[in-house]
Amino acid sequence: METYDYIVVGAGSAGCAVAGRLSEDPANRVLLIEAGGSADHFWVNSPAGMGKLFLEKRLNWSYFTEAGSRIEGRSIYWPRGRMLGGTSSVNGMVYMRGHPRDFDHWESLGNPGWGWNDVLPYFRKSESNTRGASDIHGGDGPLRVSDPIMRSPVIDDYLSAAAGIGIPRINDLNAPPYEGADYHQHTIRDGRRESSYTAFIAPVLNSRRNLTLLTKAQVLRVVIEGNAATGIEVQQDGRRRVISAAREIVLSAGSLNSPQLLMLSGVGDGAKLQAAGIETRAHLPGVGQNLQDHWFAPMIWEVTPGSSYNSRVSGLAKYIEGMKYLLLRKGVLAMSASASAVFLRSSDDLQQPDLQMVLRPLSYTFHPKGAVIVDSFPGVSAGVVLLNPGSRGWVDLASADPLAAPLFQPNYLSDPDDARRTLIGIRKMRRIMGSAPVAARVVNERMPGAAAQSDEDLLHHLKTVGNCGWHQVGTCKMGRDGMAVVDARLRVHGVDRLRVADGAIMPTITAGNTNAPCIMIGEKAADMIRQDAAPRR
């Protein structure tokens, strides 16, 4: 029987941080297991390659949601990384932590130790910010966070136009006052994507004999004996085997697959499990519930030719950019598309921003089956993102077959206030783009188009063309109430020696991109696991 002290399931944003930190102690034998394989591919490493990864099934779970009744019956494509680094190897690399009030709210829900002052040290611990260390940022952590290597004139004008209508230009979106306009920082190191794997695992894998990495191995279930997790069942190369954990098992398979694994292991709503033919080990009706995601309204403007990068990533010019990237790690391919954002409140009555308005110096269209196509005209694109949606959905088993994809119903726009606030954001975005100096670059509004003025028109656009932020969280929420799945130490209620450490544990979604908070969760989880130090069996 293979035995390790700790088994970490999922080499993604949180899992790599957990395994990397636990293996710093040479006395800990750590297994990190990943369903996918290597992430060492050109389009993974090059920051602008994100769109190329959407439909690459070798590297992607390529999920689709159930049809949404409030979004005209649409099924939404959910790409999730299936390789080392997980979704941090396919995301937009935006480094946003969320608002301090997000974490204070978590603590107020019965989760001591998760307030802003508690989690800030873990954000700092993971971070190597090119701006250097400060009270807010870390300077010597494993995860590189950097500023864009190029600044686009249209983005500069966008930020100036926002300032002209009363939205201040600030120096750091991750620092006080947490409201205003600026360029994003990104997880990019010297022109290459910095995933959680390249930050926490790759630099130490060959030097730590106590750290084992197992790839292309899908975990089928957690083995539970009595009320304790003792191991995992794995399928690799068509063969199944059980691997034992002497101390603990940590599920870091992500907000979609961690609840799936719990249910396959008999942890979830007892009635549903029995209906699927699965023996109930722990009745936790909250497993798979509380699903949250960011829904956004896409907008596109045709602009003057010098104001867009579209021509640089198409035709012969894309080969020039390719050579520039291969030789120098510079140019458009070394950048994230999500260049900048405005954070603001839809109402002065709110205590924190609830809108994130991202502008990109190029434009592209998402097609229903997942393709991302750069537009043929010079364009810029925006996403008006509602940061704290009220809508809640669920994840459930399609069957007891562990190799079958789960079912997902996010219930986008089920809370009517979500649409109301997003429409306020669309109008604010139009006001910025219609203001000097960026207005001089605009030729016309392509999406939703100048004819869409009424609430009814804009709501139709939001329902029929709107898309998600791919920020799914909350499905194994942390707390003390009857729907909580883990406690504040991330231990699964009713099952000893089993934790969940990824975005699934968030009681409520953070106000921004979710990769940085997931890495923070991994950092904090590893610290708690080492503090608790379960005895070896």
Which residues participate in catalysis according to the annotation?
A: 471
Strands in 367-482 per DSSP E: 372-374, 379-386, 394-396, 407-409, 442-447, 467-468
The answer to whether 385 and 294 are in contact (CB under 8 A) is: yes
Q: Are 174 and 97 in contact (CB under 8 A)?
A: yes
Q: Which residues contact 455 (CB under 8 A, 6 or more apart)?
A: 423
The rounded radius of gyration (Å) of the Cα atoms in the chain is 22
CA distance 31 to 15: 11
Instruction: Please give the distance of CA 23 from its chain centroid, rounded to a whole number.
Output: 24
Six-digit token string for 438: 């960026």
Question: Is 228 strand, coil or helix?
Answer: strand
Chain centre distance of CA 467: 15
Contacts of 264 (CB under 8 A, 6+ apart): 220, 221, 278, 397, 400, 402
Whose tokens are 């069942």? That residue is 233
Choose among 313, 158, 229, 263: nearest CA to 499. 229
Strand 192-193 and strand 372-374: the pairing is unpaired
Structure tokens at 447: 């999406």
C-alpha 20/C-alpha 204 separation (Å) is: 8
**Strand ranges (DSSP E) for 304-403?**
340-344, 355-360, 364-366, 372-374, 379-386, 394-396
Tokens of 414: 């089920």
